[in-house]
Structure 1
Amino acid sequence: MEGIFLEVTPQRRIVFTNALDGDWMPKNPYPVQVVGYFEFADLGNGKTGYRAGARHWTAEAMEQHRAMGFEQGWGICADQLGVVAQMLAARGDA
């Protein structure tokens, strides 16, 4: 997915959209345009809370995105982020 970051707060929050290109210009409609976010929280004891979500322009767009495998894809993304976090922790970068 091509898009841009709208907000990056280290170790706390990432917000992105596919509605704009790298020059902040509106893009021709991607099949479903979305503003998505990932949020992280230190739960203590080496544990991290993770929350992800998406905001769609319409309920119909949300259902179209769901039909494209959106929920399963974000589950895969969460698993991949977990692997990266474990690698960073093993290196002492977490």
Structure 2
Amino acid sequence: MTQSELTISRFIAAPPAAVWDAWSDPAKLARWWIPAPIICRVDQLDLRPGGGFVTRMREEGATDFQPHVDGCFLEAIPDERLVFTTVLTEGWQPVDPWLALTAILTFEAKDGGTLYSARVLHKTPEESAKHEEMGFYEGWGTAIGQLAGLLE
């Protein structure tokens, strides 16, 4: 691990195919992708290289959805691996996001379940530190816990 990346992993007592399904179904993704009680809306989920990935979030009681992720998938290998970035949007269009990152998600079959790992790369160590200070481990950990709760 370099100073410009953050990683988090968790064992989920469900097979990789179930984890992939929870990622590939917009209704399921909306249930776990953002820590509750924040509400997630999936606007685009095109799991192919160059496909768009757009989610929005809304605080409980608020009326408007705010930006969450506006990105592009770089790789999608069913039941194994997903890679997305926020520095590109659908069709490889370059953008200057509020938080530049590339996330490498792996779903490794292990002990009858899945070792779910997220490796999040940032442009600089400072950007990585900023993401960590924003609550990376708490936020991503909560979301992965919600994924486990959905599947186990």
TM-score range, shorter chain: 0.7 to 0.9
1:8 match = 76
Task: Describe how 1:11-50 pairs up with structure 2 within 5 A.
Answer: 11-28=79-96, 30-44=97-111, 46-50=112-116
C-alpha displacement of 1:84: 3.8
Q: Which amino acid aligns with 1:42?
A: A
Return the alpha-carbon distance in structure 2 between the equivalents of residues 54 and 35 of structure 1. Answer: 6
Higher relative contact order, structure no. (Cα contacts within 8 Å, ≥ 6 residues apart)? 2
Q: What fraction of aligned residue pairs are identical, expressed as a percent?
A: 35
| The structure with more strand, counted as a fraction of residues | 2
Structure 2: segments with no counterpart, 5+ residues: 1-68
Query: Unaligned regions of 5+ residues in structure 1, if any?
Result: 87-94
Task: Give the ranges of 4+ consecutive aligned residues of structure 1 lying more than 6 Å apart after TM superposition.
Answer: none
Tell me if structure 2 keeps the 8 A contact 1:32–1:64. no
| TM-score, scaled to structure 1 | 0.78
Aligned to 1:62: 128
Deviation per residue, 1:5-50 (Å, 9 max, x gap)? 111111111111011111311112x222000021111113x32111
Cα distance in 2 for residues equivalent to 1:18 and 1:84: 26
1:11 alignment partner, SS class: coil
Normalising by structure 2, report the TM-score.
0.51
Shift of 1:83: 3.1
